[in-house]
Structure 1
């Protein structure tokens, strides 16, 4: 069983602390067997205070991190990091002892802890959008993307603010066991299996006029027609907007361009078909809206990192 260790530091935020146990515990196999074992530890095994006015006790010291397959670090408040990115010695020592190759995950501003430990040097990462500018100034060696809900860089993953930790944990379940298991876990937790767009949609902006139309009906219309070719002009016409207005409003609402969103939806459709059917790759491509197997392979390699055939061999077998 895959062991997930959650490191609770002094000042931990309770909501994010509870996300890994809730999501990974909901991930079960076809016979209901648990797929993850989630344990919580502190640096020395002693209770830690939260930022919500109460203290939590745990069963383990940080020594269990050595046996973990995945380590999740929730955010803390206030962040005790020096002006030059120095970590308190107990925390620095704990992070330094994590075995190489262990999958490490930060939720929200816990990305500061990974960056201060040198674990994000030269890597792409994200954090809460309110902290992105400060984070980039403090850690210029990190490639910060302030618009996304999470960044998967293989063995190190970072998420944006608060609930994006749910998105990232579901992504890990999907990466480990496929969409069917992740979607089932999401239903058990009563959360969407994925959210459109990035955290750009949550950044404070001037409220649009009450008469401003939404692109939501056009998104629903497009989802019903994924196998069909759709141009930006056709999408804008369905929304009764000019292309320029539609593109601007779409980005404001979703955090992506219409083309990026449409490609993402088609990739999700393709992943589902690859996992749940034996359809030939070319037919999967047509039903997902990519037209040809060549186009599907190109998009799949760019987004997922493997070919559709390799993805199917991995996840189709797990879902049987």
Structure 2
């Protein structure tokens, strides 16, 4: 059952405390008739998946400056987009970003479909992203549930079922509160509430517009929720990264396969990642192993890379990869783990 009074309380709070975000049309602007750009809503939601708002802001601003419309992004070179994404992580998102932009440009005339069904048909758009774009961009009363919303719902209802098992329960709770009026503002309001008030640690319950209705606040169990199932211990994989420079300053790089981790990204030639990596040098050289490893943590495992460096003459061809001239090389175009290896090589 819908609860318009509770939604109204939250919207009243949002009208006064909405965050100022580069992809957002705030409540005053929306009241004045300014509508959100579906492209900017979609782009921000893809970038924000498993990434923080402070980390996303400069990437979003760089992308929308360089590619201001979805058609501009659709026409971009893959390598340029992957380089612009470097450092944001979860690189499958960048590949799907391009696929989606090209479908919207080619099959929808550069206009995002408005309904949930049409949005879900786009590459890389799942239920959460479709709901967010439908609600925020088109004011469709779709249920939008991210980590912030899950936390708010778990506390509001004192739901102790651990995540991820609790996801369907929390989604039903969120759906029951989603209003028919101003659903786009409401979706952003409940996310703002979780991000700024109902925070993971030390929630500011005294400032919460839903405090009087919050079962966890009444029971004093806010800090315990949401419950989470124990995390499995992440395994550690080993690998080798080969950083070779030519005497003229060019660096040897290779583009990783489209599928898999760091798919489509430029990086250092290396070995497979596993328990006992085998040597796989990309060029004949005298290799020097650094004393310090490049370490990085992915979603499902820790990675430790032995970094080996070498200097080669101009006339020595690589067995794989290509040399990139010094003036064309920018370490910011590399994914984070590859930049870590580069920083070690430069300092070592």
TM-score, scaled relative to structure 1: 0.25
TM-score, scaled relative to structure 2: 0.23
Larger radius of gyration: 2
